[in-house]
Chains A and B, each alone.
Chain A
Amino acid sequence: MSGVHVTTRINGDEIQFVCEPDESLLDVLRNRLGLTGAKEGCGTGDCGACSVTIDGRLTCSCLVLGAEVDGLDIGTIEGMAKGDELHPLQKKFIEHAALQCGICTPGFLVAAKALLDRNPTPSETEIRFGLAGNLCRCTGYDKIVRAVQAAAEEMNSAKKIQQKVA
């Protein structure tokens, strides 16, 4: 098999790589690009630990081929914090003890950000269904839901302050 040359943007940076035609985007990220924040929990799209965004859309990177993302925009957990400033979701996950082992955390954060980008004021039910594609075996989800609620609240009040200032 000969490799496929791919040019893409990952977390805003132009990245080029060569991958096998049957190689998943997850394997490319982890094994070729050293971006190991996305995890393989199942390899079949059932657990969400490998969640990334492709052109803003939440996707399991284990279900996408590396060769398919040419020209597309990929977002991973490594791009969520801005410099040393954590995203409000990241802060609230720590504050609310929304992680125990932490293996599912990157996927939950990527999924939660995609949810809040789409719906900045989700109800508890909307959060629960918005995160239903991500498995966590440690927490029972209670503290994850609360962390997302707290982050949404903080982001919305920050937005209101910004609007007032403007």
Chain B
Amino acid sequence: MPLDNPSDNIRKFKLVGTRPDRQDGFDKVTGRAKFGADAVAPGQLVGRILRSPHAHARIKNIDTSKAEKLAGVKAVVTRADFPDKTDGDSGLFDILTNIMARDKALYEGHTVAAVAAVSAAVAKQALKLIKVDYEILPHVTDVDEAMKPNAPVLHPKLFTEGLPEKPKKPSNVARRYEFGHGDVEDGFAKADIIVERSFKTEATHQGYIEPHACLANVSPDGSGELWVCTQGHFMVRDYCARLLGLEISKLRVTASEIGGGFGGKTTVFLEPVALALSRKANRPVKLVMSRDEVFKCTGPTSSASIDVKIGVTKDGLITAADATLRYQGGAFPGSPAEFGAMSAFAQYHLDNVRTIAYDVVTNRPKQAAYRAPGAPMANFAVESVIEELAHKVGIEPIDFRIKNAAREGTRSSYGPVYGPIGLLATLEEARKHPHFKAPLGPNQGRGMAAGFWFNFGGQSCVSLNIPVDGTVTISVGSPDIGGSRASMCLMTAEELGIPYGHVRAIIADTSSLGYNDVTDGSRTTFATGMACILAARDAIKKLCQRAAMMWGIPEEAVTWEKGYAKPAGANAGNFPPLSLKEIAAASGATGGPIAGHHEYSADGAGVSFATHICDVEVDPETGAARVVRYTVLQDAGKAVHPSYVEGQFQGGAVQGIGWALNEEYIYGKDGRLQNAGFLDYRIPVCSDLPMIDTKILEIPNPGHPYGVRGVGETSIVPPLAAVANAVSNAVGVRMTELPISPPRLLKALETANLAKAS
């Protein structure tokens, strides 16, 4: 769907770009909004899950007989209740194996059995009565260790894909990827200065405040209902139906309000288990995770080990860029190594570029998507080397970036040629920003980074209904994580020419709409929003038909303008305009209800770039680094509801700050997670931070009628490097490992002082 009015690129909007109150706000500030754990069904049972205490163990036997005999226990399920119905689909088989361990427990926290009982106390007691006979196996949790030839192998049937020849032995390397163009060796030969460095980042969790929760109710006739907090209830329905052998149309899934996802709620964990328990007990079953379970058993993102080599001429032009990325994605293939490799150099115009990536399995929970999956760690490594090169060449880092920036017509490092993009605009705006010129205090440093994300379109289906009072309901199938319903209403009202308050958006269940992809890839405001626009245009066509009928003139003789049907010209007749409300009021007599629909798979999601500027202050005694000023400049294409666009910029930046400074999965030698709670896994709190300044730039996306680009993910890409560059500039030591926690920074300072002394 092309941009409206592409010639001047300036469309005058009445509502899009304004900041009205969100319509679900009232329920959310009064405690009335119903999230995953807030639903109740008559006669519901409490579910609880038994999890492996071992990082890697063969499950020789599971004896549930004592638990089953305990009074109040209504169902117990194990691997025996999940026969393989995946029909050779290896990805689905991995999901099946992840939701209920089969021959082996592959990480601490892997589900081994589950019970449903009349109370939480009985369920807990039942778990203690389940006897699991484990044979403990050697484990590995570090990505570089897992790639060594003598590492314990998780999957005897895993042979590295993407190599010229199939390897003779299985290993933990699931796949090798390669992207790029030109000849990097040739490019490095032309370079005057080359910087080559290795980096490591730790795994971080999405950290949504709402633990996973669902309420399942399966009836003996094979039909079922599921209430669940998820980023995609159609995805949940399809996975659950396939894993359990249910008919898709008999399983009705309703998305609750969702308490954060950031990519972590884009797969199933509890849901098939709750359905299996409910089917066995013939009662509704509610399953809610504890925070400990969220950390140990749901997907954090990958930890990574990355080598970057970049060469430049003495004038500051990049001649070649090369990177090797190793990402562990937990116990199953599918780490975002590929996205890391594709995005690593996407912000630069490069003649010679190569990225090689390895997707590696380890004895950790299966990773899940986390906001721009794979990109932040690659960006950290690349933007750190860029900063260092700029210093070496003697050019201001921002000018060095501008000089080498990708622009319209650049062949990206991952293949496609860019259309109109906003990278240069964000860099130039950054250079003008007062933040850039503000003086720094003692022990302070400034850093910056530019980042990229692809954005995604995908499948959406929207229904729009106009009742007789002329108000409008839009039913969408994309769960609203951050206020997207407000954007949907704004775009629909804009098209129809009616007030924002006359449109109401609901998230319809899976039986009410066609398939909708998961709310991910920054796709919802772009793709589902465009489906709302197109559904409104479909409704306008019907409104015009009804007006034609009311006037007794041909359909083609009616046009729609600012909420009114009007005769197209003098020849059409002289009729006073009919409002949407008047046409709706007459609908019963002119052919029945008026509705608009749109269903499609959206293309044309425009890529998105951002530049971040960060000031930190370092305490040389404690090694604590603190962000004292932060600015985000990002291209939104067109900001539909600017407050929520700013919110995406700010939220992503702060998640990235946490990743850079505090957050990490810490494993003991026993392969167990040592910090599975918010006290020890420290996400940024209010007192850690300054205000996060934002600047929205609008370079229209030619693939959307209003020019909208997704905005949710790009904002987490630059902060890791921006913070690390700021710290490195403050202390004069290049920080190559994240998080830059106080012990790590102190150590770097000590090493630097020792080097100075000697």
Contacts and interface: CB of A to CB of B under 8 A. Distances in A.
Interface in B247-290: 257-262, 288, 290
B729 to A, nearest CB: 23
A139 B684 CA distance: 11
Interface in A77-117: 77-78, 80-81, 86, 90, 93-97, 99-106, 109
Interface in B17-31: 19, 21-22, 24-26, 28-31
A64 interface: no
A142 B259 contact: no
Nearest to B207: A137
Contacts of A122: none
B187 interface: no
A43 B38 CA distance: 16
Contacts of A38: 31
Contacts of B691: 142, 145-146
Interface string A51-85: 00000000000000000000000001110110000
Given A46-B677, A134-B686, A76 B21 contact: no
B86 interface: no
A137 B28 contact: no
A138 B482 contact: yes
B619 interface: no
Contacts of B31: 35-38, 76-78, 106
Interface string B1-41: 00000000000000000010110111011111111011010
A44 B686 contact: no
| Dominant secondary structure of chain B at its interface with chain A | loop
Interface stretch (B339-347, B349-357, B458-466, B646-654): B646-654
B679 A46 contact: yes
Interface string B680-709: 000111110101100000000000000000
B679 A104 contact: no
Contacts of A94: 21-22, 25-26, 29
B209 A104 contact: yes
Contacts of B26: 86, 94
Contacts of A131: 686-687
B259 A42 contact: no
B623 to A, nearest CB: 21
A36 to B, nearest CB: 4
A49 interface: yes
B29 A105 contact: yes
Given A20-B121, A41-B211, A93 B29 contact: yes
**Category for how many chain A residues contact B:** 35 or more
A92 to B, nearest CB: 9
B481 interface: yes
Nearest to A20: B121
A97 B22 contact: yes
A94 B21 CA distance: 6
Interface string B645-681: 0110011011100000000000000000000011100
B208 interface: yes
Contact of A97 (B32, B34, B288, B483): B483
A136 interface: yes
Interface string B713-756: 00000000000000000000000000000000000000000000
A140 interface: yes
Q: Nearest 6 pairs between A and B by C-beta?
A: A37-B31, A103-B259, A140-B654, A102-B28, A97-B643, A94-B25
Given A41-B209, A100-B483, A100-B651, 17 more contacts: A1-B121, A36-B37, A39-B209, A40-B211, A41-B259, A77-B30, A94-B25, A94-B26, A97-B643, A100-B481, A101-B260, A125-B687, A128-B689, A129-B687, A140-B653, A140-B654, A143-B646
29 contacts: A36-B34, A37-B30, A39-B209, A39-B210, A39-B259, A41-B210, A41-B291, A47-B291, A49-B209, A77-B31, A78-B30, A80-B30, A90-B30, A93-B29, A94-B26, A100-B647, A101-B208, A101-B481, A105-B29, A128-B686, A132-B686, A135-B685, A137-B207, A138-B647, A139-B650, A139-B651, A141-B686, A143-B650, A144-B686
